[in-house]
A = this chain, B = another copy of it.
């Protein structure tokens, strides 16, 4: 191998340097996505402008456009990242050997964490109508994959006798609706933490499909051990 006196042209160090630049650019892109998500949440996606997002990210508008071609692209990456994480959480849950009810509980927790705690998700997660057709198609595909993963967990739980027989597709949509709707009412400065909301929602949503040894035939006087 020919040694060069110019370290910049040394293939190894040049690779390290370009890797450093790549990582730095990736980190900057993430910062920008988080700033965009804050603006989307504050102003609504429709009203949010690239100028406002640039200000929030502490960039000049020109600099912002260097990283993202437009609001569409920002919205796409916010949604795409969130869906990738939720899909990974669903795959991990599905591959585990814990009871299905706990697998679904883990998916519910991850879903709320990624859409409420992680700023990139949030409001932007819902606004797919605003994406151009080609970007939207990719997001819709991932959403469908995710919905199928949730449905498959429910079907597995029914098969194993952990869940009562049910319309798995409808229940999956009901669960996802309840989870996605949190974006509309959750406030970071509200009374309940995301973890507490996740627990409360999981308890309610899982109770609705839990296998029951016997159904109550009439209203009951005393309730023992009702999961809150």
Contact A208/B208 with A44-B129, A219-B162, A228-B166 known, Cβ cut-off 8 Å: yes
Count the copies: 2
Interface residues on chain A, size class: 35 or more
Contact of A161 among B45, B129, B200, B219 (CB under 8 A): B219
CB-CB under 8 A from A164, the residues of chain B are 207, 223, 226-227
- By the criterion CB–CB under 8 Å, are A207 and B207 in contact? yes
A201 vs chain B, min Cβ distance (A): 6
- By the criterion CB–CB under 8 Å, are B220 and A161 in contact? yes
What residue in chain B is nearest A192 (Cβ atoms)? B170
- By the criterion CB–CB under 8 Å, are B165 and A223 in contact? yes
- By the criterion CB–CB under 8 Å, are A204 and B46 in contact? no
CB-CB under 8 A from A45, the residues of chain B are 129
The CA of A181 and the CA of B172, in the complex, are separated in Å by 11
- By the criterion CB–CB under 8 Å, are B166 and A177 in contact? no
Contact A167/B200 with A129-B47, A208-B205, A216-B212 known, Cβ cut-off 8 Å: yes
- By the criterion CB–CB under 8 Å, are B205 and A174 in contact? yes
- By the criterion CB–CB under 8 Å, are A174 and B204 in contact? yes
- In residues 204-228 of chain A, which contact B (Cβ within 8 Å)? 204-205, 207-216, 219-228
What residue in chain B is nearest A173 (Cβ atoms)? B185
A177 vs chain B, min Cβ distance (A): 3
Residue A176 is within 8 A (CB to CB) of chain B in the complex: yes
Residue A130 is within 8 A (CB to CB) of chain B in the complex: yes
Residue A138 is within 8 A (CB to CB) of chain B in the complex: no
Contact of A165 among B166, B174, B201, B228 (CB under 8 A): B228
A140 vs chain B, min Cβ distance (A): 11
- Could you list 11 examples of A-B contacts with CB < 8 Å? A46-B46, A167-B200, A173-B185, A176-B181, A177-B179, A207-B209, A211-B219, A212-B223, A214-B224, A215-B224, A215-B225
